Chain A
Amino acid sequence: MSAQLKVMVIDDEPIVGKRLGPALEKMGCQTETFVDPAAALGRLAECEFDVVVTDVRMDEVDGIGVLERVKALSKRTKVIMITGYATLEVAHEALAKGAFDFIAKPFKPEDLRQAVARAAEALGIQGPGAAASQA
């Protein structure tokens, strides 16, 4: 169980969490979804996640804020940014601050699964399939 990939999804669009949760669980991840970034940050303080998927533009705390907080709490956590409108500036900033990947909306569930798989590999966890077999 401990080897199961822990993924957090933050997006103020409820449908994103509703769809990505099951999609990631299908590949063996343990997923928590949040609509409110502030609540998500609270949860992050309680528990370390392997991968955080966050929308860039949100009202209270934006994706960059989430990224900074995650990196401050846990260096090893991989952050995947998703955004509806990627400007070069934001992309640069995100990568400079240690974002693992950058996905533009609209994307397919498979795109995210591949990104998460790459993140797991980078973390040294054997692919999602391996994680599932370990469980």
Chain B
Amino acid sequence: MPDDKQPAEPERGQAATVEGRYERIKAAEAARQALLTRPRFSFRTQIFLGFFLAFLFSFGIATSMVITIYLVENKMKFLEIASEYVTEIQQARRFEKNYFLYGTNLQDALEQVYLAKTILEKNSDELLRVAGDKRDSMIIPHLQRYEELLKRLAALESEPDSPRLNQKKKEIEMEVRQHGQEMVSFAQDVMTKEKESMARMVARSRNIHVLSFAVASIFMVYIAYFLGSSLLGTVNRFQGYAQRIAAGDFTPITPIRRFRDEFTELAITINQMLQELEAHEATLVQSHKMRAVGTLTAGVAHELNNPLNNITLTAHALLEDYREMNDDDRREMLGDLVNEAGRAQSIIKNLLDFARESGAQVEPLDLVALLKDTTHLAANQIKLSGIKMEFSATDNLPRVHGDAQQLQQVFLNLILNAMDASPKGGKIQVLVVPADEPNFVAVKIIDFGSGIPEHILGSIFDPFFTTKTKGKGTGLGLSVSQGIVAKHGGRIMVSSREGQGSTFSVVLPITTLPARIGGNMPRSGALS
């Protein structure tokens, strides 16, 4: 029966390994593709865009301020001209009044009108700019008409003997008063309107500035918040990844946001690193396993030499005494040969099953059976060291979810450590019991050796920490074991008393918690 089974198993194991690796590479490649296919919107672009928008906004505000100041300046200039002009024409009107009352100052009035005209001409362009077509349609015609009327009055004065002088004067007086009135009131009206318009403009400008300041503040706060939170959020997310990776979960990073940025490259690099790490870890686990195998060699050699010796002795006995023997004796000896050959085969198979590099095959496991296999594997080595091993287990324990080989490696490592710690003639206890917390099973490996000093108890799980002499231990056993157990959603705990011994407890979740175990197990559904 073993003949049919044995060649098939290693192949299945190797196929699973190759398939497992392929799956992992595929998952990493899928993650890379997913990371790269998103549209690129880097933080550099976001920062640049934010600052550009802020600049545009401030530029708009500054421009509007300059324009407003320019407009206000114009209005002020216009008001200045207008007020000068109004002063002149008001003076002209005073002289005009004097003339009509006392017959004096007509020339003075004309002079004032000239002055007013000069002001208008001097500022003609500016007036046009600020007053528009009002210059030609209203202001200038009024002034011209007034001047003309005053000139006619002056002409009348120069020929005093003209008939109907007083009547003509009266007619002109009416018109002069009317135009003068209109001229002044129009100018004052325009001035009032301009003043109001300027006040409105200043008020509006002030409002715009206050509003822009508020909007700019909100905008800046938003940009700062948006950039800050997306940067910090991403940094926090990557911190989470780092913790997850440190805990031994090598699932590739998959995209979370819609855009690609600088962190995408980081994610891709981390994914590459994860692949490397995984490969290194597999190598580390395997090389550590081979060390354990090396430690077992003495025991295995002894165990293997016993059936070999039995075969040699029996075969020679057959050769020597074949003729003198009866059929029953011969049959018995041949039976011994077959049995002993089978025994040798199973010893080798046991070791090879453990030593073989295999892909992670996660399945429900009977811990008691697994521990029995493990203690059997170590049994000879332990007997050689003159140490007794006691095994006891609670009946009907629930199964745990895991990789038989990897867990066996953990238990073997702990048993061999216990063996190293035990004195000759000492005892190791292996217990499989329900853990203190519900839904967990505990494997306790207890030795009564030297114990671990309290000051190094905290560092025994650190990589490369060892108390063994150079060449005897790598300091990786407990570190590798803890990594394996953590991947199974469990943990290794230790309690030790110097001089009294140590207890290592491996606590593993039972299979009724598939979601939790699935979440903690790497390489199972990397992209979902």
**Given A22-B321, A106-B305 in contact, is the A15-B313 Cβ separation under 8 Å?**
yes
Cβ-closest chain A residue relative to B336 = A15
Cβ-closest chain A residue relative to B315 = A108
- Whether B320 contacts A109 by the Cβ 8 Å rule is yes
Give, as a whole number of angstroms, the nearest-CB distance from B371 to chain A. 21
Interface size on B, residues (CB 8 A): 24
- Whether B317 contacts A85 by the Cβ 8 Å rule is no
Which chain B residues lie closer than 8 Å to A110 at the CB level?
Answer: 316
- Whether A105 contacts B316 by the Cβ 8 Å rule is no
Whether, in the assembled complex, B314 has its beta carbon less than 8 Å from a beta carbon of chain A, the answer is yes
Which chain B residues lie closer than 8 Å to A15 at the CB level?
Answer: 310, 313-314, 336, 340
The B interface, classified by DSSP as helix, strand, loop or mixed, is helix
List which A73-128 residues lie within 8 A (CB) of chain B. Answer: 82-85, 87, 104-110
Which chain B residues lie closer than 8 Å to A71 at the CB level?
Answer: none
Give, as a whole number of angstroms, the nearest-CB distance from B397 to chain A. 29
List which B209-245 residues lie within 8 A (CB) of chain A. Answer: none
Tell me the bound Cα distance from A22 to B333 in angstroms: 13
Tell me the bound Cα distance from A107 to B321 in angstroms: 17
- Whether B320 contacts A105 by the Cβ 8 Å rule is no
- Whether B305 contacts A19 by the Cβ 8 Å rule is no
Cβ-closest chain B residue relative to A20 = B313
- Whether A105 contacts B308 by the Cβ 8 Å rule is yes
Tell me the bound Cα distance from A16 to B311 in angstroms: 10
List which B274-324 residues lie within 8 A (CB) of chain A. Answer: 298-299, 301-306, 308-314, 316-317, 320-321
- Whether B302 contacts A57 by the Cβ 8 Å rule is yes
- Among B298, B299, B301, B309, the residue within 8 A (CB) of A16 is B309
- Whether B317 contacts A23 by the Cβ 8 Å rule is yes
Tell me the bound Cα distance from A94 to B174 in angstroms: 156
Whether, in the assembled complex, A68 has its beta carbon less than 8 Å from a beta carbon of chain B, the answer is no
Whether, in the assembled complex, B384 has its beta carbon less than 8 Å from a beta carbon of chain A, the answer is yes
Give, as a whole number of angstroms, the nearest-CB distance from B387 to chain A. 12
- Whether A13 contacts B309 by the Cβ 8 Å rule is yes
**Given A57-B383, A62-B386 in contact, is the A13-B306 Cβ separation under 8 Å?**
yes
Which chain B residues lie closer than 8 Å to A19 at the CB level?
Answer: 310, 313-314, 316-317
- Whether B313 contacts A85 by the Cβ 8 Å rule is no
Cβ-closest chain B residue relative to A110 = B316
Whether, in the assembled complex, A46 has its beta carbon less than 8 Å from a beta carbon of chain B, the answer is no
List which A11-32 residues lie within 8 A (CB) of chain B. Answer: 13, 15-16, 19-20, 22-23, 26
Tell me the bound Cα distance from A105 to B304 in angstroms: 10
- Whether A84 contacts B303 by the Cβ 8 Å rule is yes
> Which bracket fits the contact residues of A?
20 to 34
List which B317-354 residues lie within 8 A (CB) of chain A. Answer: 317, 320-321, 336, 340
Give, as a whole number of angstroms, the nearest-CB distance from B102 to chain A. 150
- Whether B312 contacts A106 by the Cβ 8 Å rule is yes
Give, as a whole number of angstroms, the nearest-CB distance from A24 to chain B. 12
Give, as a whole number of angstroms, the nearest-CB distance from A67 to chain B. 15
Give, as a whole number of angstroms, the nearest-CB distance from A68 to chain B. 14
Cβ-closest chain A residue relative to B314 = A19
- Whether A108 contacts B305 by the Cβ 8 Å rule is no
- Whether A106 contacts B303 by the Cβ 8 Å rule is no
- Among B306, B317, B336, the residue within 8 A (CB) of A105 is B306
Give, as a whole number of angstroms, the nearest-CB distance from A118 to chain B. 19
Tell me the bound Cα distance from A102 to B304 in angstroms: 19
Give, as a whole number of angstroms, the nearest-CB distance from B316 to chain A. 5
Which chain B residues lie closer than 8 Å to A107 at the CB level?
Answer: 309, 312-313
- Among A59, A83, A84, A109, the residue within 8 A (CB) of B313 is A109
Cβ-closest chain B residue relative to A23 = B317
- Whether A109 contacts B317 by the Cβ 8 Å rule is yes
Give, as a whole number of angstroms, the nearest-CB distance from B330 to chain A. 13
- Whether A59 contacts B383 by the Cβ 8 Å rule is yes
- Whether A106 contacts B384 by the Cβ 8 Å rule is no
Which chain A residues lie closer than 8 Å to B310 at the CB level?
Answer: 13, 15-16, 19
Which chain B residues lie closer than 8 Å to A13 at the CB level?
Answer: 306, 309-310
Which chain A residues lie closer than 8 Å to B340 at the CB level?
Answer: 15
Cβ-closest chain A residue relative to B317 = A19
- Whether B336 contacts A108 by the Cβ 8 Å rule is no
Which chain B residues lie closer than 8 Å to A62 at the CB level?
Answer: 386
Which chain A residues lie closer than 8 Å to B301 at the CB level?
Answer: 84-85
Which among B305, B313, B320, B336 has the greatest number of chain A C-beta atoms within 10 A?
B313
Tell me the bound Cα distance from A15 to B308 in angstroms: 11
Which among B303, B308, B321, B384 has the greatest number of chain A C-beta atoms within 10 A?
B384
Give, as a whole number of angstroms, the nearest-CB distance from B382 to chain A. 11
Which chain A residues lie closer than 8 Å to B303 at the CB level?
Answer: 84
Can you add 17 more A-B contacts, CB < 8 Å, to A85-B298, A106-B308?
A: A13-B306, A15-B310, A15-B313, A15-B314, A15-B340, A19-B310, A20-B313, A22-B317, A57-B384, A82-B309, A84-B304, A84-B305, A107-B309, A107-B312, A107-B313, A108-B316, A109-B316
List 10 tightest A-B contacts by C-beta distance, closest first.
A84-B305, A85-B302, A105-B309, A84-B302, A106-B309, A19-B313, A106-B312, A15-B310, A105-B305, A106-B308
A-B contact pairs, 5 of them (CB 8 A): A13-B309, A16-B309, A16-B310, A20-B313, A23-B320
